[in-house]
Amino acid sequence: MSLAGVRLGPYEIVALIGAGGMGEVYRARDTKLGREVAIKILPRAWSADPDRLTRFEREARVLASLNHPNVGAIYGLEESGDIRAIVLELVEGDTLAQMLSRTPRAKGSSGLPFATALAIATQIADALDVAHERGIVHRDLKPSNIIITPAGVVKVLDFGLAKVTDDAANLTQSPTAAVGSTRDGALLGTAAYMSPSRRGTKT
């Protein structure tokens, strides 16, 4: 059921942007600050599941710990009745998947001009570098989770399956990350974008 037209605190939900395994993302209007935002909604069927709630809230904490121009920003958490939501920066542009699908590909080529591919890859690496410095591993990095703005700025999105390593020294003093909140034996991520070693093992 679409939530278009629903009011969530100061946010007026406008339209569905997309949906995935970890929730639905809507475009919304921040009526207090007069700006457009994205709102990620935890499916209502999971709102009573403690594990799903923990993972959803952990995603918000992970994003709050990452302040970087190549990572989509978080504005806050909202709760209304059985609706749980993360309020995010609305990133306008095309996903890397959309960009690649429109680009003719010669044999052995990504289809993107070398300079463009290098600029995108460098920004992705910068985003992952700051995440890894904080002991955060994305675990679901794929073209559909990367948006390139009209100005050419890359934004890495969707840290819903991120893992926080328990051996990162800076996390022992940080209240913004949780560890060990995935089930033993669960295989998480998108199979087509996993390394062969991960496909054959469980997390």
Q: Helical H runs in 19-159?
A: 50-64, 96-102, 114-133
Across the beta sheet with 7-8, what order do the strands follow?
7-8, 11-20, 23-30, 35-41, 83-89, 74-80
Annotated catalytic residue, options 140, 166, 167, 184: 140
User: Nearest 10 degrees: CA dihedral of 154, 175, 186, 17?
Assistant: -40
- Catalytic annotation present for 167: no
User: Nearest 10 degrees: CA dihedral of 45, 48, 52, 58?
Assistant: 130
The amino acid occupying position 78 is E
Nearest to residue 180, comparing CAs of 164, 169, 168, 192? 164
DSSP label at residue 3: -
Residue 75: CB atoms within 10 Å? 19
By annotation, the residues acting in catalysis are 140
